[in-house]
Structure 1
Amino acid sequence: MELLRLDLQYFNQEKTEKATPKKRQDSRRKGQVAKSQDVNTAILLFCVFVFLFVFGSYMGETLTGIYTHAFTEFIHWDVTESNVEQVFSQMTIEAVKIILPVMIVAIVGALISNYMQIGFLFTGEPLKFDLKKIDPLKGIKRIFSARALVEFLKSLLKITSVGAVCFGIIWMNKDDMMMLSQKTVFESINFFGQLTIIIGVAASLMLMMISVIDYLYQRYDHEKNIKMSKQDVKDEHKNIEGDPLIKSRIKERQRQMAQQRMMSEVPSADVVITNPTHYSIALKYDESKSDAPFVVAKGVDYVALKIREVAKANNVVQVENRPLARGLYQAVEIGEVIPEDFYQQVAEVLAYVYKLEQQA
């Protein structure tokens, strides 16, 4: 039996269940999402090289203009503090004009790639200091883990694929490259610029193909890591719905408090109608509150007995009327006015009670 219990406990702890929506939300809040860095890199590079392909000629002309202006205008200036400051200021502004658009495109590409994978997410949980991250034993385990092997194979695949693409493009243009000695400097610069952009676009497209595979693997690995055991699912359900034992205790406490409030109203009742062993209904008639009598307390069995005891202790008249007691108990809740169907019967009871009080 002990071995069977241990086996069942192990089975319950084994992570075989898919993550619940709450588990996924908690993991996302901690920054644990399925994301491939290769997707970011591929889209970022693709956006940058496409931008260079479109605006590369303009950027080249701008750089050439800076070079020409420097060696035709600035070279004749005297070396003074103001002139040096002016030269550096103008050069910095021109450099920013060239570099800033590239940086903006790179940032936009990075944001788009992240949004495509995980949507909008901002959390500081991964930046928190955690001693487990610098644990040497866990570091060694990570180095020799299956994930490390996958990352190694993935890096080897990227290097091989990108290298093959670059070599293939260079090999296809080797003849033009060998003839550059017969061309001008500007033609050579233009050729190498175009070749670089072609290589960059082709390499980024190759990385995109690899990144799709990596993203699928990251999704699989993420789903595997956030799996839950049967016990985890039960514990989460308890946390959401509340422990049944605690809920029953709260309900019992609420019932006791409601019963105490109800019993405190019995001494002010005009009459308690009973069935003398099962039902007790305490009625009160107050013209300032309602046009008809209303129920201040009701109960069956033990509660009915307590109502009768409180009524007796406070000299509240008790009238036995089994059909009326049962009907009022089923038709009226505490604090509600009695229905019109009971007006005649209750009026007769109250008339009898008032007569007794006058005689007393």
Structure 2
Amino acid sequence: MERLLKYRLQFFAEGSGGEKTEDATSKKLTDARSEGQVAKSTDLITASALLGLFFVLKTFVGTIGNNFINIFIRTYNSIDVYTRNDFTQATAQQIMRDNTIEIIKISIPVFISAFVIAFVTNIFQVKWKITGKPLMPKFSKFNPIKGFKKIFSKDKLVELLKEVVKIAVIIYLANNTLQKNKDILSRLYDMDLIPAILLIGNIVIDLGYKISIIFLFIGFADYFYQKLKFKKDMKMTKQEVKDEYKQAEGDPQIKGKIRAKMREASQRRMMQQLPEADVVITNPTHFAAAIKYDKEVSDAPILIAKGADYLAQKIKEVARENNIQIVENKPLARMLYYNVEIGNEIPPELYQMTAEVLAYVYNLNNQQA
């Protein structure tokens, strides 16, 4: 015995309206940007800041080192002076306060340069737009099911791969640097304090400089990946594109109905004015155009009605009911239909042909009278 099972195929559709195959519209990109959703690589920002930091340190290491040495000497001398006189807790606090201020003065230019580079890198990626919406709490973020899915998502796998690459780079460069400088480092115990500090500082800065450059390449790769990922995430279904178009432009069906109602109203007004026409010029089967001329109202005849096919037949019917002359003139009928709007005067290039028709109609009406 066969049993028929009914399935709702829309449950198998991917998202709303099917598969997301359409590129994001400008409206969706604008809305996403206002929500703080942009293609941005934090790795690129971090790498740029680190590179700027170590570049400044490498460039001004001598000046910075001398400033710290001067602070040490001044502090040591101050302690020596106070020890011989009266060294109290307040004195120690004052020395620490002065040293902290001096260290901050030395460090501020270094960290400002790193901040400026990170800021410029951020502007390079997302341009300039301030929004506070990403800071607002969203209850959807507290969904444990979505959070569990994100742990095993492709994005987390990519992040894990990046972190592994970073750690591998750091280990390799650190080991390589130590191997190259192991002979020099083994003689640190035989060196004076200041040369030893400068040597270690140069090694650390060179290592950080190399790591920052490698991280910068990783950051650029991550930036292009984020751009592709963002473009894919912003894709829309055909139904979403249609819905957005309806919201922006209005429902095409409703607009079509409105245009149809407007055409009907215009045709009714046209038919109401049609009995005032002096003549109806026809194709004879496809087009009809009704003309009225009143020299006290306008300098040229006015087109008060026109139509094609079925509407042309209706115009001729109304003309017969109101004893309006119907004149066959194919060229004039076509030119009036295609070139003159209802309510407008006849253009000068049609004066001669129209005048001949009106003269014929006036003569015909006089004879009938």
Tell me the TM-score normalized by structure 1.
Answer: 0.76
2:60 alignment counterpart: 55
- Larger deviation, residues 241-250 vs 132-141: 241-250
Letter matched to residue 61 of structure 1: N
1:345 alignment counterpart: 357
How many pairs are equivalent?
351
Alignment counterpart, residue 222 of structure 2, candidates 207, 214, 238: 214
What percent identity do the matched residue pairs reach?
35
Shift of 1:34: 3.1
Distance 1:293 1:213, change over 3 A: closer
Q: Does 1:112 align with 2:117?
A: no
Aligned partners of 1:331, 1:139: CA distance in 2, in Å? 66
Q: Does 1:273 align with 2:285?
A: no
- Larger deviation, residues 59-68 vs 98-107: 59-68
Distance 1:329 1:153, change over 3 A: closer
1:193 alignment counterpart: 201
SS at match of 1:15: coil
Mapped contact 2:319–2:326 kept (Cα < 8 A): no
Aligned partners of 1:184, 1:4: CA distance in 2, in Å? 84
CA displacement 1:258-311 (0-9 Å, x = unmatched): 3344345446x3524265987654433344553221112223465457667878
Shift of 1:54: 0.9
CA displacement 1:44-69 (0-9 Å, x = unmatched): 10111001111222223333334444
Shift of 1:40: 1.4
1:182 alignment counterpart: 190
CA displacement 1:64-89 (0-9 Å, x = unmatched): 3344445557967999xxx9999899
SS at match of 1:321: strand
Aligned partners of 1:351, 1:78: CA distance in 2, in Å? 132
Letter matched to residue 67 of structure 2: T
Within 5 Å, which residues of 2 pair with 1:61-72? 61-69=66-74, 72=77
Mapped contact 2:279–2:327 kept (Cα < 8 A): no
Q: Does 1:319 align with 2:331?
A: no
Within 5 Å, which residues of 2 pair with 1:123-272? 123-236=131-244, 243-263=251-271, 265-266=273-274, 269=276, 271-272=278-279
2:50 alignment counterpart: 45
SS at match of 1:334: coil
Aligned partners of 2:51, 2:58: CA distance in 1, in Å? 10
Query: RMSD of the alignment, in Å?
Result: 4.3
Structure 2: runs of 5 or more not aligned: none
Distance 1:290 1:180, change over 3 A: same
Shift of 1:330: 5.2
